[in-house]
Amino acid sequence: MHSFVSRLMILTCVLALGVVLALPVSADTGTGVAPNPVGALDCNGLSPIQKSVKLHGVCSDPRSVEDGVPTRFEDNGKYIGHDEPSIRFLSDRPGSANDVTWNEALPNDPAALPTVATPGSDITHWFELSIAPWFGMALCDPYSYPQTACKPNSDTNAPHNAPTFDKGGGGSSFLEVQFYPPGFAPFAENISCDNTHWCASLHINDLECTARFNHCNSNCIEPTNFGFIQMDGAPTGPPSPQLANLATFTPNAQTLLMNPGDRLSVHIFDAHLAGGGSALEVHIDDATTGQSGFMQASAANGFMATNIGNCHGIPFNYEPEYNRALPQNIIPWAALEGGILTQYEIGHFTPCTSLSDKSVLDFGSFTDDVWQTCNGPYEADADSSTPEGAGGDAPCFPFGDTHSGFASDPNLVTGCEDFASGGDIDFDGTSYWADWPNATAPNSFPSTFLQDQPLTSGHQYASMQFETDVAASEATCSPSTLSGCAVPAPGSPGNFYPYFTQASVGGSCEWEFGQMSTGNSFGGSAQFDGPSPYFFGNLEGPIQPLTNC
């Protein structure tokens, strides 16, 4: 039996994409910051030239195009499954794509520990349901797909050739302001910062491919810049794909830690830098504790774009790509059409009663035990396959695990994160059972997030659209016939898919997520209507006016 590390090494050596490197006109292969042997050159951990410092990343989901037809994307021959139900907000107001404020209340978990007995009625915590709720924005990056010039904060960057939008346009990166729930630490190896707090990051993914996905650099396909939101604004470690180390993904005394139930204001905007120029900033104010934190995606902070030719880092100030949040102002390489989004990354946790197939991970200065197989009532009789490869459970960790050299808080349940298989592509984990919030206060299930309507310079957005990229992970979903593309996933054991609800709570109009029965559910899971002409794996409803409760 290969260890988990050995399995990853085997996968990184399978260069089934058959890619040929192609340089953008402006690339200079003789300069830049060379990547270290360990870093974040590929969010999926599949770079053949660099070991991933974080066991797994919560990445943006790419799509691809073959013979002019949208298709599933593979990273070094491996399909990576994603499930990201979201709402994108649209407006023709100037600044609506580069200045947004989200006000939200973090949810609370049940006081009791999670149970693993009866799927659909177990006690569950948020880390089992969504490993990273996040807010999104398109960023300007000439060193990312399609490797073309980009003017920050400009609608001239929009791609064309509707409805697939796979021609022209400026270089695009994907911002995700990710929030991490408590209960399954340590972050470098798992999901959480600790067992009692939420934490958050400024997370950017680029895609090192040329237009229409003709050529990709398999050594650094999806590089990641990462920085926790810090009270002093200083990254915990180098944020760039080339230089990221264990400190990058380890919170310190300055990391903004937020309590369940805290009321937050999250401002994402293009900030003026003290030394001149501008860069994206994420600023979080915690109205409950009075604390605040921020992070700027600037060269001065160590953020770097990636050279497609040699994977070297280019010190870079990331800025918003567009001026207005128009339907065509998308991220043309992403499965989700992108833009101003609220989203929940689901399908990455399966609780277990026991584990098997133990192996060891080597972190250099220490090692840690990891298991590959989940046993229990949530686990399907046999892991089904993705459209391109075999499924699996790893990495898995037992209840109470404190993770050797990490000395983390003990894990609150035995469970697996389904990253070795590219995601919970057999749809047997907690996300696909009716274990979701059904109230604004915790009971057997956690309470729901409460999110106000997003604001741009104090104004509401005009319209919205539901979308999810889950269908690309469904073995039943055919890109040619569009049959078998649905939620809940056809044949999934729990036959459930969470959905957004809009309801009046305490006199405020709030967006909720889970299985809430009050307010407007927009048809429940039917709000994700059907395959998009942009990408067959993206199920989306119509663009509709944004109304209040």
pLDDT at 389 over 70: no
Q: How does pLDDT run across 507-529, given as a tens digit for each residue?
A: 999 999 999 999 999 999 999 99
Over residues 176-180, the mean pLDDT reads: 98
Q: Which amino acid is at 481?
A: T
- When pLDDT is cut at 50, 70 and 90, the band that residue 55 belongs to is confident
- When pLDDT is cut at 50, 70 and 90, the band that residue 201 belongs to is very high
Q: For residue 153, give both structure tokens.
A: 């904060």
- When pLDDT is cut at 50, 70 and 90, the band that residue 480 belongs to is confident
Q: For residue 214, give both structure tokens.
A: 């003709």
- When pLDDT is cut at 50, 70 and 90, the band that residue 20 belongs to is very low
For residue 545, count CB atoms less than 10 angstroms from its CB and return exposed for 0-12, middle for 13-18, buried for 19 or more.
Answer: exposed
- When pLDDT is cut at 50, 70 and 90, the band that residue 366 belongs to is confident
DSSP class of 472: G
pLDDT at 384 over 70: no
pLDDT of residue 66: 85
The CA dihedral of 179, 183, 187, 193, to the nearest 10 degrees, is 70
pLDDT of residue 383: 53
pLDDT at 17 over 70: no
Mean pLDDT for the chain overall: 91
- Beta strands 38-39 and 51-52, pairing class: parallel
For residue 158, count CB atoms less than 10 angstroms from its CB and return exposed for 0-12, middle for 13-18, buried for 19 or more.
Answer: buried
Q: For residue 120, give both structure tokens.
A: 């659909």
pLDDT at 83 over 60: yes
- Provide the residue count of the chain: 549
In angstroms, the Cα distances linking 390 to 97, 301, 371, 410, 495 are: 39, 40, 17, 31, 22
Q: Which residue has the tokens 């009971």?
A: 443
- When pLDDT is cut at 50, 70 and 90, the band that residue 57 belongs to is confident
pLDDT at 122 over 80: yes
Q: For residue 312, give both structure tokens.
A: 């070297």
pLDDT at 19 over 70: no
pLDDT of residue 7: 30
Q: Which amino acid is at 223?
A: P
pLDDT of residue 382: 53
Beta strands per DSSP E along 128-251: 130-140, 172-180, 199-205, 224-228
pLDDT of residue 15: 23
349, 419 contact by CB (below 8 A): no
Give the integer Cα–Cα distance in Å for 290 and 263.
10
Provide the percentage of residues in the chain whose pLDDT is more than 90. 84
pLDDT of residue 381: 63
For residue 534, count CB atoms less than 10 angstroms from its CB and return exposed for 0-12, middle for 13-18, buried for 19 or more.
Answer: buried
Over residues 307-328, the mean pLDDT reads: 98
258 three-class SS: strand
pLDDT of residue 522: 97
458 three-class SS: coil
Over residues 210-219, the mean pLDDT reads: 96
Handedness of CA 57, 60, 66, 69 (dihedral sign): positive
Residue 7: what are its φ and ψ, rounded to 5°?
Answer: -60, -40
Give the integer Cα–Cα distance in Å for 270 and 140.
11
357, 393 contact by CB (below 8 A): no
Over residues 439-468, the mean pLDDT reads: 98
Give the integer Cα–Cα distance in Å for 455 and 267.
9
Over residues 133-137, the mean pLDDT reads: 98
pTM: 0.93
Over residues 309-318, the mean pLDDT reads: 98
The CA dihedral of 527, 532, 536, 539, to the nearest 10 degrees, is -10
Q: Which residue intervals of 90-155 are DSSP H helices? A: 126-129
pLDDT at 180 over 90: yes
pLDDT of residue 2: 31
Give the DSSP per-residue string, 261-320.
Answer: T-EEEEEEEEEEPTTSSEEEEEEEEETTT--EEEEE--GGGT-EEE-TTT--EEE---EE
Q: Which residue has the tokens 């307010």?
A: 519
Over residues 144-149, the mean pLDDT reads: 98
109, 395 contact by CB (below 8 A): no
Give the integer Cα–Cα distance in Å for 359 and 323.
49
Contacts (Cβ under 8 Å, ≥6 apart) of 427: 347, 488, 489, 491, 492, 493, 494
Domain spans of the chain, in order of start: 24-348+432-549, 350-431
pLDDT of residue 56: 83
Q: How does pLDDT run across 244-268, given as a tens digit for each residue?
A: 999 999 999 999 999 999 999 999 9
Contacts (Cβ under 8 Å, ≥6 apart) of 30: none
